[in-house]
Amino acid sequence: MRLAACGLALALLPERGLDVAEAWLDGVQLAWLSGSGFHGVEWGGGLLTTCGLQNVGAASEGFPLHGRYHRRPVQLLDRGPSHVRALARDGPFRLERELSVEASSLSLLDVTENVGLRTEQAPVLYHVNIGPALWSDGGGVVVDGLREVVPRDVDAEAGRASWAVPPEPANAPERVFEHLFEPAGGWGAVTVRNGRSGLELELRWRTAELPRLHQWVDPKPGYEGFALEPANCSVLGREADRAAGGAPTLDPGESRETRLEIRASRLSG
């Protein structure tokens, strides 16, 4: 299944929560792809992987790494050349997703409802995976309103000074950072630019529901993964979020809207 408009084309995964696999701007691949494909048990990457809806990050309390939503099939409700709307279930949650493409931008609206009988922990993280057309020599990241970069652990601490540029490929552990930032007008924004390829990708998200931003970097040669991750939770798992206080929840019958936008463009000049 594909959506396309104004030079932006997306391959969608209805068998995986209506996430986004490949993404092209004028034929150039924007997404990071793991090489595993999208039909086996391994994670294939792709422009967007939705993590949740019952666990995000480390496996916790019987839930796997990043939860199970991204392996749930959807029921299509409406479909056109540049938009699609679908419904998915994950445990006690019902999620209705709308994707639309216009003027080289992808807009996502998720409405998640707790259809169960009790209050449920409801973490979500949008794993936006950006490929070597942007994250390679000549590339860099700018987080609007950035106040502080917080490494997840000692492995990330080693890369704190150079978090904004692609590292040299190395057989080293992954690095995960959290970016503390001040939103503008209720929205967060981060931009990846590459002067060599002449490409730019801007990610925006509504911060009322997604107040946090994580970054994932895996420098292993031949893998070289990179993602920016708006979220409402940590990446340490549901048990750690409860222990820290303030774990996101939804009461029975309660719903939330999450919105994000991804815009790709050519740099002028």
Instruction: Give the domain CATH number at 253.
Output: 2.70.98.10
Who contacts 138 (Cβ-Cβ below 8 Å, separation ≥6)? 194, 195, 196, 197
CA nearest to 72, candidates 17, 140, 125, 112: 17
As a residue count, the chain comes to 269
Give the pLDDT of residue 41: 74
Q: Where are the alpha helices (DSSP H) in 63-196?
A: 154-157
* Residue pair 71/17 in contact by the 8 Å Cβ criterion: yes
Domain count within the chain: 1
CA gap 124, 210 in Å, rounded: 8
Tokens matching residue 154: 């000692």
CA gap 16, 12 in Å, rounded: 9
Domain with 162, as residue range(s), is 2-266
CA gap 164, 31 in Å, rounded: 18
Rounded (to 5) percent helix, strand, coil in the chain: 5, 50, 40
Q: Please list the residues that pair with 176 across neighbouring strands.
A: 216
Q: Mind spelling out the 3-state secondary structure of 144-174? A: CCEEEEEECCHHHHCCHHHCCCCCCCCCCCC
Give the pLDDT of residue 269: 65
CA nearest to 9, candidates 76, 166, 240, 1: 1
Per-residue confidence in pLDDT tens, the chain, 269 aa: 999 999 999 999 999 999 999 999 999 999 999 988 887 777 889 999 999 999 999 999 999 899 999 999 999 999 999 999 999 999 999 999 999 999 999 999 999 999 999 999 999 999 999 999 999 999 999 999 999 999 999 999 999 999 999 999 999 999 999 999 999 999 999 999 999 999 999 999 999 999 999 999 999 999 999 999 999 999 999 999 999 998 999 999 999 999 999 999 999 86
